[in-house]
Structure 1
Amino acid sequence: MARPKIPKSARFAKGLPDRDTLLKFIRESGETDKAAVARAFGLKGEDRRALRHMLNALEADGALGKRGRRGFAEAGALPEVGVADVVERDADGDLLVRLTRGEDAPLVALSPNSDPKAGAPGLGDRVLVRFVKLESGEFEARLIKRLGQSAHRILGVVRKARREVRVEPVDRRSKDTLLLPEGEDVRDGDLVVAQIEPHGPRYGPKRGKLLEIVGKEDDPRAYSLIAIHAHGIPTGFSEAAETEAEAAQEPTLAGREDLRDLPLVTIDPVDARDHDDAVYAHPDDDPKNPGGWVCWVAIADVAAYVRPNSELDRIARDKGNSVYFPDRVEPMLPERLSNGLCSLREGENRACLAVRMVFGADGRKRSHRFVRGLMRSAAKLSYEQAQAAVDGQPDDKSGPLLEPVLKPLWAAYACLKTGRDARSPLAIESAERKIAIADGEIAAITPRASLEAHKLIEEFMIQANVCAAETLEQKKTPLIYRIHDQPSPEKIQALADFLGSMGLPWTKGEAPRTERFNRLLDETRGGPHADIVNEVVLRTQMQAVYSTENIGHYGLNLAKYAHFTSPIRRYADLIVHRALITALGLGSDGLSDWDISKMKDTAELITHAERRAMAAERDAMDRYVAAFLSDRVGAEFAGKITGVTRFGLFVRLADTGADGLVPISRLGGEYFVHDDRTHSLVGERSGARWPLGMTVQVRLEEATPITGGLLFEMLSDPAPADASMPRPRLGMRERGDRGFDRGPRRGPPKPASGRPPGIRTGRKKKMGGKRR
């Protein structure tokens, strides 16, 4: 999310505002965060802390509502774009929606004049909408996209009793337990999809209709299905889309440059099924570029097969991206394309969009050009296979490629790395885990290796993405950027406070340059604080998003960046391919007028789809890990505290990377308060601490695969009180600071309608009836 802007109409005096001035600013901003407020009033130091307490008090009083993790708005305010649920109909039959974020969100009428390509919503659907203020001062919601399946369908586990059969939802956020009719052929523990009967009884459990039995709750292969249903991941393809995919033809040289003599190779994970990028490099023979390199990146030409306004295009846009689970993939494109004509298979002719890049000996790019070509992959290699060959252990396949292909690639990467090091992108390390499944069972959970081969492919892809953004900007062609904002001043302040508590210097007011973060990571790498500093630096960063407006990519330290290299699995890349085809006159299958008119909406959609996929993949991983550990309840593990909250500690186990909770009630008889400045729980009486990053020993008390939950008992003792670390100001509890409170405070009672004035909740009846 880009940094919230200060409203142009805002004309406020500098300095700590009073309550009314602060609320007026927030009202005019629409949606903002603490950092934007502090910038507007020029607040620093203690004034920032006082502002935080004011905002927390306003939230506790019910005057402010949450918007995402760190944002907020006036209670009842609406963002420009948001995810909402279709919750009811008004007296005229019009649908009403409510934002999914925050209980203070009002009901708003859904405009019937929505884009027909967005899909027809129904009661219970989750939708992406744009809120528009009408001349009357009322709001209406305009549909951008229908998200996932109707909430009238739930995925749940069958629980059989003597006289009834219930379906308990696997989604912990769902409160609907369904009662199935007698005679259904189901067994206790079956994982089923059921539909809520729309005309069931008003009181008691809702009635349901069995739609499908998808497996057993204790079957590891079911955990991906749970994540797919819980997050509304679109699945499968329509008959029309499959027909279009089957009708696709093998590529020819017509309108293409012949690249089949280039020994391009694909380097992917060993279990990869689709291959959308291939690489090749050789020394530049231009005497004006001594020590320079020519690098080729060829990408599957998906735009040749997925045309604008086709059924394939509509479904790909709805999905936004492929979603990857340990046991399956929910692809963005049908297998005929994703694993067939659009996959750069070894020894087969494939359509591609390629970029030829020239780099100097200093690693800086000198020039590039795009071509639409026909290629033939010289080999399909895995990361491990290519790396082993370069390290002196080639096999029968990689051996013949070592001198002509692999060694030049690694030499070119050494050149590019010189430029990368000078650019100094963020060098945060993230420990990824891989789940191995054999014969339907979880065989092992192991860390993913980080090889030089991974970094080589990553850097080649980054440079190709830069070329795409630069070309489209130069040609003044609309595109979707991949943007990443720099950390907010509030996050930097919190980081500086935390580092100060550990004796690590960070000059307040120092610009958050990427090289400054990297220097901090280098200074602590290998020391006792390495993991926790890496974690806190990661949390300080913003999330990258897709946008039609460019602010650069902070993490990569690049001014222009767009996703171009994965069109098989990301819709953003397909749009960039079409834009390049249009900008460079490479064919008639470039951007359509509809693509251009809806590009902002598309950027918002695919950003949401990416978040949805990440959440589904993370939830599935949690369930697999819980299943793997379910037979080890009672066992003791070493771990580190990776999260500190008001309600307990999150601990990550050393051997599996599993995350679980130690509730605050299980930390002993003393009352612990949350010190957000030092990321610690601190004993109110003794001053003993549970700090972020502390190594601890825990016992597994509970593992629930169906929800992915792990519960730990703490076996270690807290760190002793440290006189050099200030105690949290406990009096803040009386001032409404939730960071130190025992629990959320209730605000004043809401009006009976629950809606502020000026929000349209439905049309009046034609005969003068009241609004409902």
Structure 2
Amino acid sequence: MTWRVYAELLDILERASPGRSRRPRRSPRGWTLQELARQLSTGFPRIPRREVARLVRELVMLGALLRRGRRYIRSPRAIFVVGTLKRHRRGFLLVAPEGERARQKYGDIHVRESSAGTALHGDRVLVRVLGRLPAEAPARAHCTWEGRVEKILERAQAIVVGRFMRAPYAGYVLPLDERFLYEIEIAPGEALEAEDGQIVAVELLRPPTAHHPPVGRIVEILGRDGDPGLDEEIVIRKYRLPYRFSESALREAAALPDSVHDRALWRERLARDELKRRDFRGWVTVTIDGESARDFDDAVSVERLPDGSFLLGVHIADVSTYVPEGSALDIEARERGTSVYFPDRVLPMLPERLSEDLCSLKPGVDRVALSVLMKINRRGDVLAYELCPSLIRSQARLTYTFVNELLSGRIEALRPSGRLELSAEASFAHIADALRTMAELGEILIERRHKRGAITFDLPEPVVLFDDEGRIGGIIRAERNLAHRMIEEFMILANETVARHLARGPMPMIYRVHEPPEAERVREFLALVKALGFSIPRQGLRTPRDFQHLVQQFAKRREGRVLSLMMLRSFRPAIYSTENRGHFGLALEHYTHFTSPIRRYPDLVVHRLLRRALARPRASVRPKEREALERIAEQCTERERLADEAEREILAWKRARFMAERVGQEYEGIIVSVKEYGFYVELEEVFIEGLVHISTLTDDRYDFDPRRYALVGRRGRRRFRLGDVVRVRVARVDVDHHLVDFVLVGMPESRRRAS
């Protein structure tokens, strides 16, 4: 908790600092210790006063606070920020500030290696902001400010995963994370009978110092290369992902009744609703998800009205009925923040009894939901809407592939299969008619989205295929079809409608915020697309529509998908916030996440806020509630980023293991990135990327041309540019660090022979 208290106190100082408001909250005389303790008690009601006194003394010693008698004032010259130290894969260090206010003001703060002390990647640190970086500073990683680590508040690397190497006396562990730069000595008698080459989890007993390596003890042996599930176990330990539920949470889940019609459930929870549930069980309602989905939290229905408009129903599982605020289930869900999806395993936010059974909108079963009913005209405008608790019964569990084939006319009957489930009352004619109406409405909403200037990235997702024995059989691109886009538009519209409704009331709210990209990143991206010959608006790239027009140009070029991905990476990541700053990518003024409460905690919180707003629209709001929501929003943003990193890493493991068995094989691919040290090639046959290092281009000496983003030969003037198709051979694979090296087919064996 210490780092959170530091962050909260510094945030209090930042909010009250002169220049941010004409009427700062603090008195010009500063704060007494009692006043600071009272400020902190809003977020930390049980914090001891002696802990506040200790923290204040430390800030005085560091120079962040100045003491004037019994009062403390903020130093005008010393700026401190709490953040997470991150070591970039290219070697430089930066601190990502905690707290939305600090992130907006400073962004990532660059830290020199000599200014980091013994802090390691992932540690929570207190950093002193030294000043702005000079424009020509190397390895800036888009940082504007420079800082120095003053104190390590929390060690992140309590557990390190690595490969055990036996030594004469004990042994040592080589970390699998290249950002952990030290070999770890294993204390005598602490090797846990690990064998040479095994993957182990190590608890650090002593962190590294200036003259001594870290020392640890092995707490778990995860296995050897090739063991089933090893990659997942490595990633779970590395990112400290919760993978077991507490006994109290499991007891709560087991005690829940199987049916929504259970008398105890109605008496204890459902009957307490101040709003009566609407009964939509007679509607043609279906779920449409991926083939491997097991938690169905959204269902849709559509009806064509006599005046030619549409009545769209988006029905979302009412998880808040089963997970009361403050319960053991709620505490577990908040700690996770989101479900984490691996290729063949899920770490759910809620126990499977809820996520795959009681809350899942399975066909033919009555389920409680929160429904968004929207009357939409043929231009895609929402003419009227209704938000209400409901009771629904899905008629079919459909997949994107099935719906796309039906809309294409390749399916003429509705038959249950391994991935298709039907209720007893399901009718092919009714469901097919509803799907065709949904497709018509989906096309209208897609056109509306285009007209308002939203940016659409139809980028394929990697899908890992497994054989009958659980080995990786391939990694392919999952292309998006009309069914994906249709459901996406329905969910976006429901999220926007809920956000607009709640924004009009007095209640605080968690928004999904996507801010415009940073000017420097836009300039860098502009330089790239200009060098490749694309036309740019005279005013540059300012609005979502400007980026949208560029994406349309990309669609006509072979390297278009790569450029779309580079554009996406130049954007700021979307975050959760109680302050509504709009959604740049979707070109929307109001947006939230409401449609996935089984797998995202912010959606569950928004459900609770909506039910409260519907029952008591004029309810007063206490300041503590707003601040509690701010902390939830920040934590959910952090957990989402952690889950994204874990999901990317597990894919990197799978790709490396797949290619390790194919060294020497040849593939055709496209150049997706060009650097000073070589270029990256994405294979056509399998969705995998690897590096062709410049040292392997032996037919000439190549230089990087930054104006054309190409490698150019000095003598032959041969060029390797973004989008070029090349044929490569798999030369080397480093599985532990997920690196795949290619060589161009047809290159001479050495430069001497080429000359």
The alignment's TM-score, normalised by the length of structure 1, stands at 0.71
Which residue is 1:274 aligned to? 295
For structure 1, which segment, 676-685 or 240-249, has the greater mean C-alpha deviation from structure 2 after superposition? 676-685
Which residue is 2:543 aligned to? 513
Other structure's SS at 1:194 match: strand
Instruction: Report how far residue 140 of structure 1 moved.
Output: 9.2
CA distance in 2, matches of 1:217, 1:482: 40
Other structure's SS at 1:369 match: strand
Q: 1:577 to 1:668 in 2, by over 3 A?
A: same
Q: Tell me which of 299, 315, 329 is aligned to 1:298.
A: 315
Please tell me whether residue 436 in structure 1 is matched to residue 465 in structure 2.
Answer: yes
CA contact (8 A) 2:700 2:714 kept: yes
Which residue is 1:421 aligned to? 450
CA distance in 1, matches of 2:443, 2:473: 37
Unmatched 5+ residue regions in structure 2?
Answer: 1-16, 21-82, 103-107, 130-147, 261-265, 417-426, 749-755
Q: Tell me which of 371, 380, 404 is aligned to 1:354.
A: 371
CA offset digits 1:133-158 (Å, max 9, x no partner): 9xxxx999998xx8xx9523222233
CA offset digits 1:157-213 (Å, max 9, x no partner): 333466644433222222233436568444444332232345999987655433223
1:426 is matched by which residue type in structure 2?
I
CA distance in 2, matches of 1:69, 1:423: 39
CA contact (8 A) 2:207 2:213 kept: no
Within-5 A mapping of 1:552-701: 552-585=582-615, 596-668=626-698, 672-682=702-712, 689-701=719-731
Please tell me whether residue 489 in structure 1 is matched to residue 519 in structure 2.
Answer: yes
Please tell me whether residue 327 in structure 1 is matched to residue 344 in structure 2.
Answer: yes
Instruction: Report how far residue 712 of structure 1 moved.
Output: 1.8
Q: 1:301 to 1:698 in 2, by over 3 A?
A: same
Other structure's SS at 2:350 match: coil
Other structure's SS at 1:280 match: strand
Instruction: Report how far residue 233 of structure 1 moved.
Output: 2.2
CA distance in 2, matches of 1:609, 1:383: 28
Please tell me whether residue 239 in structure 1 is matched to residue 247 in structure 2.
Answer: yes
Which residue is 2:507 aligned to? 477
CA distance in 2, matches of 1:276, 1:360: 26
Which residue is 1:248 aligned to? 256
Which residue is 1:217 aligned to? 225
Which residue is 1:501 aligned to? 531
CA distance in 2, matches of 1:444, 1:589: 55
Within-5 A mapping of 1:691-730: 691-715=721-745
CA distance in 1, matches of 2:678, 2:622: 52
Other structure's SS at 1:318 match: helix
Instruction: Report how far residue 237 of structure 1 moved.
Output: 1.6
Other structure's SS at 1:598 match: helix
For structure 1, which segment, 669-678 or 556-565, has the greater mean C-alpha deviation from structure 2 after superposition? 669-678
1:415 is matched by which residue type in structure 2?
I
* Percent identity (aligned): 33
CA distance in 2, matches of 1:612, 1:415: 36
Instruction: Report how far residue 554 of structure 1 moved.
Output: 1.5
Q: 1:204 to 1:551 in 2, by over 3 A?
A: closer
Other structure's SS at 1:445 match: strand
CA distance in 1, matches of 2:218, 2:640: 31
Please tell me whether residue 313 in structure 1 is matched to residue 330 in structure 2.
Answer: yes
CA contact (8 A) 1:178 1:196 kept: no
CA contact (8 A) 2:507 2:620 kept: no
CA contact (8 A) 1:496 1:507 kept: no
Instruction: Report how far residue 259 of structure 1 moved.
Output: 2.3
CA distance in 2, matches of 1:589, 1:323: 35
Instruction: Report how far residue 261 of structure 1 moved.
Output: 1.9
1:576 is matched by which residue type in structure 2?
V
Instruction: Report how far residue 322 of structure 1 moved.
Output: 0.7
Q: 1:69 to 1:259 in 2, by over 3 A?
A: farther
CA distance in 1, matches of 2:743, 2:736: 21
Which residue is 1:90 aligned to? none
Please tell me whether residue 265 in structure 1 is matched to residue 272 in structure 2.
Answer: no
For structure 1, which segment, 180-189 or 597-606, has the greater mean C-alpha deviation from structure 2 after superposition? 180-189
Other structure's SS at 2:596 match: coil
Other structure's SS at 2:465 match: strand
CA contact (8 A) 1:78 1:131 kept: no
CA offset digits 1:72-105 (Å, max 9, x no partner): xxx9999464999xxxxxxxxxxxxx99965365
CA distance in 2, matches of 1:340, 1:445: 30
For structure 1, which segment, 513-522 or 597-606, has the greater mean C-alpha deviation from structure 2 after superposition? 513-522
Please tell me whether residue 103 in structure 1 is matched to residue 113 in structure 2.
Answer: yes
CA distance in 1, matches of 2:156, 2:400: 41
Instruction: Report how far residue 681 of structure 1 moved.
Output: 3.7
Other structure's SS at 1:262 match: coil
CA distance in 1, matches of 2:454, 2:209: 59
2:222 is matched by which residue type in structure 1?
V
CA distance in 2, matches of 1:266, 1:327: 22
Q: 1:615 to 1:201 in 2, by over 3 A?
A: closer
CA contact (8 A) 1:372 1:586 kept: no
For structure 1, which segment, 390-399 or 565-574, has the greater mean C-alpha deviation from structure 2 after superposition? 390-399
CA distance in 2, matches of 1:683, 1:377: 62
Which residue is 2:415 aligned to? 396
Q: 1:207 to 1:491 in 2, by over 3 A?
A: closer
Other structure's SS at 1:168 match: strand
CA contact (8 A) 2:506 2:618 kept: no
Q: 1:168 to 1:416 in 2, by over 3 A?
A: same
CA contact (8 A) 1:472 1:580 kept: yes
Instruction: Report how far residue 350 of structure 1 moved.
Output: 1.6
1:491 is matched by which residue type in structure 2?
R
Instruction: Report how far residue 227 of structure 1 moved.
Output: 1.9
CA offset digits 1:284-341 (Å, max 9, x no partner): 24xxxx3210000111111122222223222222211111001211111111211121
CA distance in 1, matches of 2:361, 2:239: 31
Which residue is 2:165 aligned to? 159
2:288 is matched by which residue type in structure 1?
I
Other structure's SS at 2:113 match: coil
Q: 1:413 to 1:332 in 2, by over 3 A?
A: same
Q: 1:139 to 1:612 in 2, by over 3 A?
A: closer
CA contact (8 A) 2:85 2:124 kept: no
CA offset digits 1:446-485 (Å, max 9, x no partner): 2113221111110110000001110110113211111212
CA distance in 2, matches of 1:684, 1:8: 58
Unmatched 5+ residue regions in structure 1?
Answer: 1-6, 11-64, 85-97, 109-122, 719-772
Q: 1:127 to 1:601 in 2, by over 3 A?
A: farther
Q: 1:161 to 1:69 in 2, by over 3 A?
A: closer
Q: 1:259 to 1:69 in 2, by over 3 A?
A: farther
CA contact (8 A) 2:85 2:122 kept: no
For structure 1, which segment, 554-563 or 582-591, has the greater mean C-alpha deviation from structure 2 after superposition? 582-591
Which residue is 2:143 aligned to? none
Q: 1:233 to 1:76 in 2, by over 3 A?
A: closer
Q: Tell me which of 164, 174, 193 is aligned to 1:168.
A: 174
2:247 is matched by which residue type in structure 1?
E
CA distance in 1, matches of 2:630, 2:223: 40
For structure 1, which segment, 530-539 or 622-631, has the greater mean C-alpha deviation from structure 2 after superposition? 530-539
